[in-house]
Amino acid sequence: MIRIGSLALVIGAVLTSPASAQSDLVERGDYLVNGILACGNCHTPKGPSGDIPDKAFSGGASWDEPPFKVTAPNVTQDKETGIGNYTDAELKQLLRKGVKRNGVRVAMVMPSGFYEIMTDRDIDAVIAYLRTLKPIKNAVPEPIYRIAQGHPVPPGGESPYTEAMLSDKVQQGFYLVTIAHCMACHTPMGPQGLEFATKLGAGGRNFPGAWGLSVSRNITSSKTKGIGGWTDDAIKRAITQGVSNDGGKLNPPMGFHYYATLATADLDAVVAYLRTVPAKE
């Protein structure tokens, strides 16, 4: 009887394990998509009070700039206007390579190059979560590309991390800062693109919008121009509450309300990595 009972427990565990694993994957995807990846910052339409919840991920921000005129696409499970017909493999290609199922590159504003580093588990988690989004029918305008679209990969982010690599606190922080594409906004843009080699994290990019003009700040370890003189708590407050070291409020597109969901260990790792970013004056 004891053996039969034990066998039943083992069988039950095996039978429930896949569902439990999938649930964990979706939970991880939720944490990433609605947190550090800040996907809704572009893909969710905005109203006077911010995100419009009942239209979440149905297509949002628009850009009309020299390289392109685009609107962030619908990434809900709608099969006509969203990504409901994409296979998992096609979504992985879209996320990591910036290439749609028809072979066309997405606009360079999509930070696919920053997702090359993403672990296989995290890519799977993002896709698992996206599969849970209710389908919303919303067709956005077709993109207009004025030049070839590229997706720069930051130094050190050229290939997927393994889970083991995340055991190091600074490496974990680099991973998180990369998938959050912090350096996409906080690195100046030169004639050849983002100046990773010489000005990583130096800030100075302009972001006009309904809020006026935001200029990304220097987030290197410089004590005069960057955040080298800030306390850990001050850096965390800026990331999660949008409050600068001098008490001033940070403007969009800084996604602090997304980063407010960061786990304590993840936030500590982000700060640990930022402390290592070479000073740029």
Please report which confidence band the pLDDT of residue 3 belongs to, taking 50, 70 and 90 as the band edges. Answer: low
Predicted local distance difference test score (pLDDT) of residue 33: 99
pLDDT at 6 over 90: no
pLDDT band at 14 (very low <50, low <70, confident <90, very high): low
Through-space distance between the first and last CA atoms of the chain, rounded to whole angstroms: 74
- Which pLDDT does position 5 carry in this prediction? 56
144-189: pLDDT as tens digits: 999 999 999 999 999 999 999 999 999 999 999 999 999 999 999 8
Q: Measured between alpha carbons, how far is 179 from 159 in angstroms, rounded to an integer?
A: 12
* Mean pLDDT over each residue of the chain, to the nearest integer: 93
* pLDDT reading at 1 higher than 50: no
Alpha carbon distances (Å) from 116 to 96, 148, 198? 5, 20, 21
Q: What is the pLDDT of residues 201-246, one digit of tens each?
A: 999 999 888 788 999 999 999 999 999 999 999 999 999 999 999 9
**Residue 30: how many other CB atoms lie within 10 Å:** 16
CA distance readout (Å), 254 to 51, 109, 155, 163, 203: 14, 15, 22, 28, 13
The pLDDT value recorded for residue 192 is 79
The amino acid occupying position 38 is A
Rounded to two decimals, the pTM is: 0.92
CB proximity list for 195: less than 8 A, separation 6 or greater = 187, 188, 189, 202
Instruction: State the residue for tokens 């786990």.
Output: 263
Nearest to 266 by CA among 241, 236, 233, 244: 236
Predicted pLDDT of residue 15: 54
- For the chain, helix, strand, coil in percent to 5 are 40, 10, 50
Q: What's the mean pLDDT in 245-256?
A: 95
**Which domains are present in the chain?**
30-156 (no CATH), 161-281 (1.10.760)
What is the residue whose two structure tokens read 């962030």?
72
Give the whole-angstrom CA distance, residue 40 versus residue 34. 7
Mean pLDDT throughout 267-281? Answer: 98
CB 166 within 8 A of CB 178: no
Local structure of 253: helix, strand or coil:
coil
- Per-residue pLDDT band for 2 (boundaries 50, 70, 90) equals very low
Distance of CA 141 to the CA centre of its chain: 23
